[in-house]
């Protein structure tokens, strides 16, 4: 039944895209996503399925080079060049001339940039407002020049104005005129323009003929919502889609790589998995107990289960590959040590720890393995399995002794240290983010690193913050669950795919699709 419905829908789409007699063949890239798009407002789009499409519609002042998620590969985008003042507080961006918005929304100017950055910093209009906390004011110096004044030097600032999250630039005229409807009728300057969306079915994009880097070679992108793994695989196998969001499982990857036409792409950033230990809950307030938990978790076993390509092992509370990651302090699996530490802490008969666990496939099986590992040391993990929304809510209300959590962020140490390990980010507080552990030992170094005089001083402060956090056993590094997509032989991205901050391959003016 699923096969017929998938093929039937694809057939209808194929018929709709066939050219009339005498017309040139339309090049249509068909993409299979695993979820519906909820909004294409660049400053609201946080779900994976949203970010994938947003990445094809908008530009930032600067961008990650296509195929990279490395901060060293940031390059000009809507801004041709920029300057930074010696104290790091003034940034001046010089815009490209004659960049047009998609459709009939006019030409990009400083007014659009000022509006976009102010909108990104507004919690009433942006999901990413906290990313712009350092911004004091954004000013238009002339039609093609924008100056941003910061309250304090922000080591992440250039990353915040990339083509990612709140850094995307929108049309002021379109956003103001469309209001709440902008998320369903987005307007950017990117290579592809929004055409239509049918909820729970597809999103259609068309090549932007006025794109400043040149009109894309692909005419149309059809992004189909196919939640079922098996249905997406069937659609890909039958040739009805050219690009597919794939299973993030090593066994599936190994099998797919042996199949003709399955070009498996594994890339960063992955959602980095940590096991956070809540220090506010007895007996976890005793560092000997936290050290016992760290000694009882066998991360190598977890990596063997997830897979070395899909889920490489982590070594610090900062994800692998992030600028500033330091692995000077590591935890080693040692069951005898775990038991001895518990006995030393007065718990020779063991302890019970509450854990609220999501029932999604990317979490529950892993936590069941950890549960079995801890049990060998006399640590009973009382798992309360709930749906994912309830898990997100209850863990943020400080109701769990340990929290298994995964996230992908801008790849610089400050983002993870600030969001997960600074005391201001402690859950269930007015300034809450995702500090589930109530960690506070690295506050001074995290704050000083933001205003460090040079890169080496900054790295040294990040290193010290990580050392303190690891020695205090705020969280146990586990593994990084990377992105997995599959493309057909027909599709050539036009670059080598190593990373994508939008969690999907960038489709650019250089991307090509061979005729069937």
Please give the radius of gyration of the chain, using alpha carbons only, rounded to the nearest integer. 24
Output the CA–CA distances (angstroms, integers) from residue 260 to 122, 237, 257, 293, in the order listed: 49, 10, 8, 45
Contact between 28 and 220 under an 8 Å Cβ cutoff? The reply is yes
pLDDT the model gives residue 410: 83
Angle, alpha carbons 401-407-408 (nearest 5°): 160
Assess if residue 506 is contained within a domain. Answer: yes
Sheet containing strand 263-277, edge to edge, reads 192-198, 202-207, 220-225, 28-33, 243-245, 475-487, 263-277, 402-407, 351-358, 379-386
Among 81-85, 107-111, 142-146, 320-324, where is mean pLDDT lowest? Answer: 320-324
pLDDT the model gives residue 342: 98
451 and 505 both lie in a single domain:
no
197 and 328 both lie in a single domain:
no
Assess if residue 259 is contained within a domain. Answer: no
pLDDT in tens, 472-501: 999 999 999 999 999 999 999 999 999 999
Assess if residue 110 is contained within a domain. Answer: yes
Output the CA–CA distances (angstroms, integers) from residue 185 to 38, 119, 220, 224, 493, in the order listed: 12, 17, 17, 18, 26
Contact between 419 and 437 under an 8 Å Cβ cutoff? The reply is no
pLDDT the model gives residue 347: 98
**What DSSP element (H or E) covers 455?**
helix 455-471
Q: What 8-state DSSP symbol labels residue 378?
A: T
pLDDT the model gives residue 110: 98
Assess whether pLDDT exceeds 80 at residue 11: no
Q: Decide: helix, strand or coil at residue 79.
A: strand
Assess if residue 434 is contained within a domain. Answer: yes
Question: β-strands 351-358, 379-386: how paired?
Answer: parallel
CATH number for the domain including 499? 3.40.190.10
pLDDT in tens, 401-446: 999 998 888 888 998 999 899 998 999 998 888 999 999 999 999 9
Contacts of 226 (CB under 8 A, 6+ apart): 6, 32, 33, 34, 232, 235
Assess if residue 251 is contained within a domain. Answer: no
Count of CA atoms in the C-beta half-sphere (13 A) of 25: 8
The Cα–Cα gap between 47 and 30 comes to 20
418 and 434 both lie in a single domain:
yes
Query: Number of folded domains in the chain?
Result: 2
Assess if residue 96 is contained within a domain. Answer: yes
381 and 234 both lie in a single domain:
no
Output the CA–CA distances (angstroms, integers) from residue 420 to 103, 161, 273, 382, 505, in the order listed: 41, 22, 12, 24, 28
| Residue 18 C-alpha from the chain's centroid | 36
At 116, the pLDDT band (50, 70, 90 cuts) reads very high
pLDDT the model gives residue 23: 58
What is the span of the domain harbouring residue 84?
2-242+488-513
131 and 31 both lie in a single domain:
yes
| Of the candidates 404, 467, 477, 395, the residue with the CA atom closest to the CA atom of residue 433 | 395
413 and 300 both lie in a single domain:
yes
Assess whether pLDDT exceeds 50 at residue 269: yes
pLDDT in tens, 167-205: 999 999 999 999 999 999 999 999 999 999 999 999 999
306 and 195 both lie in a single domain:
no
Burial class (CB in 10 A: 0-12, 13-18, 19+), 435: buried
Q: Decide: helix, strand or coil at residue 272.
A: strand
Residue pointed to by tokens 């590992």: 373
312 and 444 both lie in a single domain:
yes
504 and 477 both lie in a single domain:
no
Burial pattern 402-419, b for ≥16 Cβ within 10 A else e, equals bbbbbbbbbbbbbbbbbb
439 and 509 both lie in a single domain:
no
Q: Where are the alpha helices (DSSP H) in 131-220?
A: 157-160, 172-178
Residue pointed to by tokens 């519906």: 36
pLDDT in tens, 320-355: 988 899 999 999 999 999 999 999 999 999 999 999
pLDDT the model gives residue 154: 85
At 13, the pLDDT band (50, 70, 90 cuts) reads very low
426 and 501 both lie in a single domain:
no
CATH number for the domain including 311? 3.10.105.10
pLDDT in tens, 139-166: 999 999 999 999 988 878 999 999 999 9
| Greatest Cα-to-Cα distance within the chain, rounded to the nearest angstrom | 84
Assess if residue 161 is contained within a domain. Answer: yes
210 and 319 both lie in a single domain:
no
Look up the pTM and report it.
0.80
Q: Where are the alpha helices (DSSP H) in 46-109?
A: 48-57
Between residues 54 and 454, the one the model is more confident about: 54
| Residue 104 C-alpha from the chain's centroid | 32
Assess if residue 258 is contained within a domain. Answer: no
């Amino acid at each position: 039944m699923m096969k017929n419905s998938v093929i039937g829908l694809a057939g209808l789409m194929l018929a709709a895209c066939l050219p009339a007699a005498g017309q040139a063949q339309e090049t249509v890239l068909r993409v299979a996503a695993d979820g519906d798009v909820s909004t294409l407002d660049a400053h609201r789009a946080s779900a994976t399925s949203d970010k994938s499409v947003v990445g094809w519609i908008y530009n930032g002042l600067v961008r990650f080079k296509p195929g990279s998620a490395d901060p060293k590969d940031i390059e000009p985008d809507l801004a041709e060049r920029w300057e930074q003042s010696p104290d790091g507080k003034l940034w001046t961006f010089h815009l490209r001339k004659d960049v047009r918005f998609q459709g009939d929304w006019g030409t990009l100017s400083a007014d659009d940039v000022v509006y976009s950055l102010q909108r990104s910093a507004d919690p009433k209009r942006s999901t990413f407002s906290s990313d712009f906390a350092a911004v004091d004011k954004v000013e238009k110096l002339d039609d093609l020049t924008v100056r941003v004044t910061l309250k304090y030097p922000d080591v992440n600032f250039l990353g915040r104005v990339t083509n990612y999250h709140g850094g995307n630039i929108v049309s002021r005229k379109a956003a103001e005129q469309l209001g709440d409807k902008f998320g369903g009728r987005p307007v950017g300057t990117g290579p592809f323009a929004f055409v239509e969306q049918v909820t729970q079915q597809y999103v259609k994009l068309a090549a932007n003929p006025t794109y400043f880097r040149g009109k894309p070679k692909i005419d149309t992108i059809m992004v189909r919502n196919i939640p079922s793994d098996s249905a997406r695989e069937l659609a890909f196998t039958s040739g009805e889609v050219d690009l597919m969001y794939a299973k993030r499982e090593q066994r599936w990857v190994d099998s797919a790589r042996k199949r003709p036409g399955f070009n498996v792409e594994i890339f960063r950033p992955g959602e980095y998995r940590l096991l956070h230990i809540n220090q506010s809950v007895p007996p976890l307030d005793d560092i000997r107990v936290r050290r016992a938990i760290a000694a009882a978790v066998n991360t190598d076993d977890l990596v063997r289960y997830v897979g070395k390509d899909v889920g490489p092992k982590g070594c610090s509370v900062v994800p692998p590959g992030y600028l500033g990651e330091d692995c000077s302090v590591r935890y080693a699996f040692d069951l005898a040590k775990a038991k001895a530490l518990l006995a030393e802490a007065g718990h020779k008969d063991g302890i019970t720890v509450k854990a609220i666990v999501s029932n999604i496939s990317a979490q529950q099986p892993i936590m069941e393995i950890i549960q079995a590992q801890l049990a060998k040391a006399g640590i009973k993990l009382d798992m309360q399995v709930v749906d994912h929304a309830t898990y997100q809510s209850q863990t943020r209300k400080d109701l769990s002794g340990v929290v298994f959590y995964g996230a992908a962020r801008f790849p610089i140490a400050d983002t993870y240290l600030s969001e997960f390990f600074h005391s201001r980010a402690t859950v269930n507080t007015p300034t809450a983010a995702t500090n589930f552990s109530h960690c506070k030992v690295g506050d001074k170094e995290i704050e000083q690193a933001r205003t460090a005089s040079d890169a080496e001083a900054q790295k040294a402060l990040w290193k010290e913050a990580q050392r303190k956090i690891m020695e205090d056993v705020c969280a146990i590094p586990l593994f990084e669950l990377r992105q997995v997509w599959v493309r057909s032989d027909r599709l050539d991205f036009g670059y080598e795919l190593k990373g994508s901050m939008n969690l999907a391959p960038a489709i650019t003016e250089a991307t090509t699709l061979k005729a069937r």
